[in-house]
Amino acid sequence: MSGTVLLLSQALLYFATMATLFRMRDRLGLGPFLCVLGVMHFLETYLAAVFFIELPFGLISPGSTVLFAGKLAIILLFYIREDAETVRQPIYGLLIGNFLMVALVTTLRIAGPPPVPLPGYNPDLVLIDQMGALMIWGTTLLFIDAIALILLYEKLRSFLRRSIVLRACVTLAVILTFDQIFFFIGLRVVTAPPFDALPGGWIAKIGAAVVYSALIGLYLAFFEKNAPCVAPQAVSDIFNKLTYRQKYEELLGRTSRDALTGALTRERFETLGPAILRHNGAAGRPVSLAVLDVDHFKSINDRYGHVTGDEVLQRVVECVRSEIRAEDFVFRYGGEEFVILWENMTHAAALTSAERMRQSLHRILAREFEAAPTVSIGVATFPDDAATIRELVAHADGHLYEAKRQGRDRVIGNHAVSAEYDA
């Protein structure tokens, strides 16, 4: 069997197996897929260090060309069909698992040779040392490669929007080029392979990028053609998810929640609001804000009691959350007044969302409370309506008071989108 046929056969076998497990994730769960993805790293590193095939353009390692390139392709496919929060699980699992393997081997190495050696079997401690060093280097590169792979894929979306295959091919080619250069540096230090393994491996990895991106395209076309892709997101947002930055934000948010309603506090709004405007302003994205007020809330407290009033506020927040995206924010701004903050949402879209929210609240509150509370909402959008978070609140507050002046139970923005609810 020629070297080229061998590499192609391995690539097809690897991708077919991983794609089958990925396809069956709804039946089997992600466990089998992630386990198979994880156990291959030692073999990849070992073959990349000691096993080479000579082709006309240089020395090629199946471990690096087929297995490692294939792993990156599978991680990319995983991201395309899932999301950043899901794909980060195998990325961090591989990082922690591989470093754990090195740590365990290191403890054995420190202990020295086994006290009772088996006849005919002598542990190759030099190989263990070499593999440990390469595992650390290779695992670090894998982590960097995987993060950069997803970020670059998203960055290319604006240039290669219509072709997932071409975008995947360019992304894999760039990341595999980076990996080939830096892994060869580590390999050169540890095992000193011939220099022609560098250009030979690079050419082979570019070929792997072409093959694996084509296989990704075939898989998507034949097996998950109608499945939804990851919605476009800012690269900075994806980076925050991949690096668990948003988990820090969520943890910080949980320590700044209103005890009664569970909404974020006004103090949290004062710190988070300006940061959101700066972040989205730098990216050229709009931020919409709504000020929501429960109509005639004082009369509800006076007539039905404060316990009912508290229940109304709690239910308002629950309903608002059900109508906004997971990444949106709801704050208790004061008393019966709440602020909703939508990142990357136009004024028209925010008005539509607020109107849907108002109608939902009317239906639910009228069904659950004798007082049948309604809400009035004012909407404003950065940067068109205001340049700072305080100005944005003031602008939305002006629309809120206009809604109340017109009879309450309505949404007002730069133009009114709803009249008083007509039962």
* Separation CA 126–CA 200 (nearest Å): 27
Compute, in degrees rounded to 10, the torsion defined by CA atoms 135, 136, 141, 144: 130
Contact predicate 355/411, CB 8 Å: yes
Average pLDDT score over the chain: 85
Domain layout of the chain by residue ranges: 3-237, 262-412
Q: Are 175 and 152 in contact (CB under 8 A)?
A: yes
What is the model's pTM? 0.60
Q: Using one digit for the tens of pLDDT, what is the confidence trace for 231-264?
A: 566 777 777 777 766 555 555 555 578 889 989 9
What would the pLDDT profile of 255-313 be if each residue is shown by its tens digit? 578 889 989 988 889 888 998 998 888 888 999 999 999 999 999 988 889 999 999 99
- pLDDT, tens digit, for every residue of 200-228? 889 999 999 999 999 999 999 998 877 65
CATH 3.30.70.270 is right for the domain spanning 262-412: yes
Distance (Å, whole) CA 78 – CA 37: 11
Q: How far apart are CA 68 and CA 49, in angstroms?
A: 12
Confidence of residue 115 (pLDDT cuts 50, 70, 90): low
